[in-house]
Amino acid sequence: MEQRHYAYFDVSKEYFDKRWKTSSFRSLIKVTRQRTILSSGEYSEQTAYYLSNAELSKNLEQTTEYFAAIRNHWSVEVNNHIRDVSLKEDKFRTKKSPSPK
């Protein structure tokens, strides 16, 4: 069983180091995931933070789209990880220049 809690904060007026000046950060998104494995009762909790240059509005529908995009991003990562592990793509070596990789 898994529960996710999302929160976002306006960071457009916060200070960022000068190397980030052109990034135009506007939003900080906090995702807390609580997970319980029902068969064993094992519980875990993770918190992740995302910076975005998108301005999140108080419009619930639009904000929900951002949260869905974050969640869907991880399904892409998981699918690539499975392929990388099972096909050993990360261990691929070539005797030629690195560009064909």
E strand map for 1-101: 2-10, 27-36, 43-52
- Identify the pLDDT of residue 7: 87
- Identify the pLDDT of residue 63: 75
pLDDT in tens, 4-31: 898 889 998 999 999 988 888 998 989 8
Q: Is the pTM of this model over 0.85?
A: no
